[in-house]
Amino acid sequence: MPDVPFLCHFRRAVTLVDSSPYVEIQKFLQVHRNRVNDVFQVLGYYDGLNFAARAEASALFSVGLMDEICPPSTVFAAFNYWRGPKEIRVYEFNRHEGGGEFHTIEKLRFVRLVW
């Protein structure tokens, strides 16, 4: 049950926000302009997209549309890459807390339905 999954779609995230950890990547690439492909190739080993593409279990995602830590488009990318059955709860006015306690209830419902 990935709640606002972190570290997904690095290449997109570094173009959207200037907060940590993405700002560190930006600063490195400002100096090492010729290493862009190398950097994103290495980060691919840690990118949640690559794990999502292999996942086959049922999943319940959450996303806060005002999240500056996990930009929403990176969460949707992970959701779209997920191979197994999946659902997503979108919290339009929330940040990184996603749905908070409300989403905890959603997770309990999801577990009851799946198991």
Q: 74-106, pLDDT tens digit by residue?
A: 999 999 999 999 999 999 999 999 999 999 999
**Rounded Cα gap, residues 8 and 113, in angstroms:** 27
DSSP, collapsed to helix, strand or coil, labels residue 7 as coil
In tens, the pLDDT along 17-39 reads: 988 899 999 999 999 999 999 99
Question: In this predicted structure, what is the pLDDT of residue 86?
Answer: 97
Question: In this predicted structure, what is the pLDDT of residue 78?
Answer: 97
- Token duo for residue 82: 């997920």
Q: For all residues of the chain together, what is the average pLDDT?
A: 95
Residue 113 has pLDDT above 90, yes or no: no
What are the angstrom distances between the C-alpha of 3 and each of 17, 52, 66? 19, 13, 14
Backbone angles phi, psi at 64, to 5 degrees: -100, 120
Name the amino acid, one letter, at 28.
F
Residue 14 has pLDDT above 80, yes or no: yes
- Token duo for residue 97: 């807390």
Question: In this predicted structure, what is the pLDDT of residue 6?
Answer: 95
Band of pLDDT at residue 114, cut at 50, 70 and 90: confident
Question: In this predicted structure, what is the pLDDT of residue 38?
Answer: 97
In eight-state DSSP terms, residue 3 is B
